[in-house]
Amino acid sequence: MANDLAIEPADERIDVKSVSVLLKPTLIDANSIAKAYRTRKSEFDTSRVHIADVSAQEAKGWKVVRPGKRYARMRRPKIISQRLEDRVWCLCKDMGYPVLNGDRFTVEFDRIDGSSGTKQIDILAKDDDTVVVVECKTRERRGRRSLQKDLHETSFLKRPIAQAIRHHFGGNFDPRIIWLYVTENIIWSEADVERADAENIRIVTENDLQYFHSYISHVGTAGKYQFLAEFLKGQQIKGLKGIKIPAIKGRFGKDTFYSFTISARHLLKLTFVNHHALNNPEGLPAYQRMIDKKRLNDIGRFIKSGGIFPTNILINFVNKCIFEPLGREDG
């Protein structure tokens, strides 16, 4: 959907200490989120139309799905921009984000000169540690589209938006913010990819989005860690700083390996599964197939009935491990 932007000139400086903000509307209760989810999950827009206006609406592509004496219920397929926004919003909800944006969501802030600015945000999702800020861009037919202006606007407004988020949720909230451009039918130019990378704006194409939807549908809210691992690579994980895991170091041919025990709760936050379906150049070659939901349910039932897996999980370390041998006095 088109953005309602108030764009500041590039040479205007914003004093973040003076920013007063309002994010609206936000959905924080389960009932409101569930209601919005039902609407966004549908592929159709629906409308209650007076019987006298049915013909005019049919000319615009609407179809009657429930006729009545005075009013008719009509629907039509969502336009591509709305459909994409709704898919991303539903993905965030399926990942378990407890705070999501409502319709026509905007961030309002004050500049240092006393004037105000407004930025429409397509998707905002927040939990205790992270915030996802999404811009959705589409074309009706697949082809090239320059996103230079859009990326420049996002880059310039990242700082006041980030400050607005911190002010709005208050306290000591200092989230890791993921800035995403989700696109459909757009062929990215190399120059725009470089611009996005330079500004730490991550790109999600329709193929990537389909992968995340498929993965989350299989594993549920636990799949959020796969999503976060893709976009927060190399960042410090809150709550895990300074944690040490007892391990045994060994050699297998020329390779070094470590054998250790770690809780599933910690392992989820640390690891990333490199699937065939995810187009991640840094992870090539990828060998893991998409998990099968039926098999996953069978494994769950096996464990709940007392079953165990007396085998190791093989993990490949991307970075060099810090291994501190214990001295004899520590044994």
Number of domains in the chain: 2
Q: Is the pLDDT of residue 4 over 80?
A: no
In a domain, 308, yes or no: yes
- Please measure the distance between the N-terminal and C-terminal CA atoms of the chain and give it in whole angstroms: 63
Q: What is the mean pLDDT of residues 218-238?
A: 85
Q: Within this chain, do residues 199 and 98 fall inside the same structural domain, yes or no?
A: yes
Among the three residues 178, 204, 230, which one is the final residue of a domain in this structure? Answer: 204
Among the three residues 144, 170, 204, which one is the final residue of a domain in this structure? Answer: 204
pLDDT band of residue 285 (cuts 50, 70, 90) is low
Q: Within this chain, do residues 200 and 251 fall inside the same structural domain, yes or no?
A: no
For 31, the domain range is 16-44+75-204
C-alpha 82: how far from its chain's center? 17
Convert the pLDDT of each residue in 171-199 to its tens digit.
Answer: 788 999 999 999 999 999 999 999 999 99
pLDDT band of residue 330 (cuts 50, 70, 90) is low
Q: What is the mean pLDDT of residues 105-122?
A: 81
Query: Is 0.85 surpassed by the pTM of this model?
Result: no
What 3-state class would DSSP assign to 175?
Answer: coil
In a domain, 10, yes or no: no
Q: Within this chain, do residues 34 and 153 fall inside the same structural domain, yes or no?
A: yes
What totals of helices (H) and strands (E) does the chain contain, helices first? Answer: 9, 12
Burial 28-60 (b: 16+ CB within 10 A, else e): eeeeebeebbeebeeeebeeebeeeebeebeee
Token couple for 149? 């202006």
pLDDT band of residue 139 (cuts 50, 70, 90) is very high
Q: Within this chain, do residues 158 and 292 fall inside the same structural domain, yes or no?
A: no
Q: Within this chain, do residues 192 and 264 fall inside the same structural domain, yes or no?
A: no
Nearest to 249 by CA among 311, 323, 319: 323
pLDDT for res 282: 54
In a domain, 234, yes or no: no
In a domain, 320, yes or no: yes
Helix 206-219, helix 80-94: angle, nearest 10: 30
Q: Within this chain, do residues 94 and 194 fall inside the same structural domain, yes or no?
A: yes
In a domain, 217, yes or no: no
Give dist(CA 289, CA 197) in Å, integer. 28
In a domain, 210, yes or no: no
Q: Within this chain, do residues 138 and 279 fall inside the same structural domain, yes or no?
A: no
Give the least confident one: 2-6, 55-59, 126-130, 160-164. Answer: 2-6
Torsion, Cα of 61, 65, 66, 68 (10° steps):
30
Q: Within this chain, do residues 199 and 322 fall inside the same structural domain, yes or no?
A: no
* Cβ partners under 8 Å of residue 290, min gap 6: 214, 215, 218, 275, 276, 277
CATH number (domain holding residue 136):
3.40.1350
Q: Within this chain, do residues 150 and 25 fall inside the same structural domain, yes or no?
A: yes
| Average per-residue pLDDT for the chain | 85
Among the three residues 171, 204, 237, which one is the final residue of a domain in this structure? Answer: 204
Nearest to 224 by CA among 132, 105, 86: 132
Q: Within this chain, do residues 312 and 164 fall inside the same structural domain, yes or no?
A: no
- For 237, phi then psi, to 5°, come to -95, 120
In a domain, 216, yes or no: no
Give dist(CA 52, CA 286) in Å, integer. 58
Q: Within this chain, do residues 292 and 181 fall inside the same structural domain, yes or no?
A: no
Token couple for 3? 């953005």
Q: Within this chain, do residues 184 and 259 fall inside the same structural domain, yes or no?
A: no
Q: Is the pLDDT of residue 6 over 50?
A: no
In a domain, 223, yes or no: no
Give dist(CA 214, CA 309) in Å, integer. 26
